[in-house]
Amino acid sequence: MRRIWAVTRQTFIEILRMRRTTLFIFILAAVVLGVPQLPRLFNKDVKPQTAALSAGKPGAVQAPQAAQRHHVQTFLVYSVGLAGIILSLLTILAGCKIICEEQARRYVFTPLTKPVPRWQYVIGRWAGLVLFQMLMIAAVGLAVYGTAQVLRLNVKDRAERLQLDNQVFAGRYRSAPNSLDEDLPKVAAKIMQQREQNERLKDLSPEQIAASWDNARLLAREALENVAPFGRLGWRFTELPKPLNDNALVEFHFTAGTGKAAAGTGLKGIFLFSRDPNSEDAGAYFRSDATFLTDRDSSILLPAHMVGSDGRLFVEFLNENPGDPAATFDTTLMFPPEELYIIYPVAPFEPNFLRLLLMMLILQVFLASTTLLAGTWLSFPVATLMCLTIYAIGAMQRFLVEATAIRYKSGFWVYLGHYIYGGLQHIMPNFELIDTSTVLMDSLVVPWTRLAVAGVAFVGVWTVLALTVAAFVFTKRELASVIVE
């Protein structure tokens, strides 16, 4: 261990002395200090929204985003995202340099008085690189957290501060309603029962009966997603965790579409929320007379007590103008299931932000081992290009899945990319486990289980495998001499 620690300390000092390290530190500082000014630079003519419709007022449909919340969330997303990219580039360049230069010079400097086994030398190099990244991530985390708190304190309006605490400075849980597939067979069966009363299905052939069932399922899905004028449509949320506190606000998000009205048309309707539809307790119900825009993401704020102790929430929509039923829009509204969800705070911001930084560290640990593996048998330019390619493919994983998906009349290059990337997916770990942008975009909570799975995949499997191969390759490489200082 003393030998490994000596190499670790030497590697840490070498990285600190690199000119590129100084450059990257200056860039990191510019990111943390400069990102908060971006909204002001690019939105000079935009007046801050008061958010009087939503902040602190359960039941009202929210404005798209309050200016202060958007300002702080933009800072968190871009500062952490850019810091992750900068640190990853630094890890790749520094990691490849410290091992590739020794391969090129064909000698190794070591501060020990005795020769070091090569596998310990590789482990020490990796540990020194990880130690440096731990220091950098800690510094970035403190800087980002401190700046975010300064931005929060600059919000003087109490309503906006409450909205900021609920939507940004908290770890939020997001849940979709129960799948329509649970109710689909029941509704389809009812449709078939009605057909049996009106038609002689027993006289139909098996193929005609199967086609009738397919049509019934299609009609059932439409019935579960559409609501006619003066009709009702409901959704169920189950297994919901307890809100963070009594002041937490639950957001119900939805998108309503219609074939008649243009996108952005204002509509009105009634939303009814309940912990238990069969309860006689008046506190178990909540009503919102909502005004919303078609084909636009809208949300309604609910008090925290609407999430029942059993983790259930029932939502029902009545397609009727609450002020003037005669003025109800004469069209069927469509609610796409993928656009329906609730989101609310369930964990404090600080522990969740710490877990977010650990996700960044897991990525740097993986990249450090990858750079050493590449540097033990490749030249510096080739090793750097290889590691940058791995990092780029992992970072663009979601985009590449969509871009290489085989569709109707796909060309040769789409098929080629699909099978090449499909093979890479089986080799590379899942980078979505440590994607901080999706977490920060909606201030989602990072569960310990996700962190544990990411740690096992990136560190327990891929890092250990990369270091094992790197140590084996390095022991087989021929060096001209070992110079002991």
8 A C-beta contact, residue 198 and residue 376 = no
For the cut 70, the answer to whether the pLDDT of residue 298 exceeds it is: yes
* Mean pLDDT, the chain, whole residue set: 81
For the cut 50, the answer to whether the pLDDT of residue 48 exceeds it is: no
Place of tokens 């002041």: 247
Does residue 195 sit within a domain? no
Residues 323 and 366 in one domain: no
| HSE (side-chain half, CA atoms, 13 Å) at 251 | 28
Query: What CA–CA distance (Å, rounded) separates 383 from 378?
Result: 5
- In this prediction, residue 454 carries a pLDDT of 93
Residues 312 and 378 in one domain: no
Those residues whose C-beta lies under 8 Å from the C-beta of residue 485, and which sit 6 or more positions away, are 109, 110, 111
Among 6-10, 199-203, 254-258, 447-451, the range of highest mean pLDDT: 447-451
Does residue 191 sit within a domain? no
* Residues spanned by the domain of 154: 2-169+349-484
DSSP structure class, residue 176: P
Query: What CA–CA distance (Å, rounded) separates 363 from 345?
Result: 26
Does residue 103 sit within a domain? yes
Boundary residue ending a domain (318, 347, 376): 347
Residues 377 and 338 in one domain: no
Boundary residue ending a domain (328, 347, 366): 347
Residues 313 and 364 in one domain: no
Q: Give the CATH number, domain containing residue 235.
A: 2.60.120
Residues 367 and 447 in one domain: yes
Residues 265 and 293 in one domain: yes
Q: Mean pLDDT throughout 329-335?
A: 84
For the cut 90, the answer to whether the pLDDT of residue 136 exceeds it is: yes
Boundary residue ending a domain (347, 368, 383): 347
Residues 145 and 29 in one domain: yes
- In this prediction, residue 183 carries a pLDDT of 62
Residues 37 and 155 in one domain: yes
Does residue 19 sit within a domain? yes
What's the pLDDT band for 343 if we cut at 50, 70, 90?
very high
3-state DSSP call for residue 44?
coil
State percent of the chain over pLDDT 70.
Answer: 75
Tokens of 128: 């020194």
* Domains identified in the chain, total number: 2
383-440 confidence digits (pLDDT tens): 999 999 989 888 887 777 666 676 656 676 677 777 776 777 677 788 888 888 888 8
Does residue 189 sit within a domain? no
Query: What CA–CA distance (Å, rounded) separates 11 from 152?
Result: 39
Q: Mean pLDDT throughout 431-452?
A: 89
Q: Which of the residue ranges 163-177, 227-241, 425-439 would you say has the lowest mean pLDDT?
A: 425-439
Residues 365 and 354 in one domain: yes
Residue type, 358: L
pTM above threshold 0.85: no
**Strand partners of residue 271:** 288, 317
- In this prediction, residue 113 carries a pLDDT of 45
Does residue 209 sit within a domain? no
Residues 272 and 144 in one domain: no
Residues 479 and 370 in one domain: yes
Does residue 208 sit within a domain? no
Does residue 271 sit within a domain? yes
Environment class of residue 344 by beta-carbon count within 10 Å: exposed (0-12), middle (13-18) or buried (19+)? buried
- In this prediction, residue 219 carries a pLDDT of 65
Residues 43 and 162 in one domain: yes
8 A C-beta contact, residue 360 and residue 85 = no
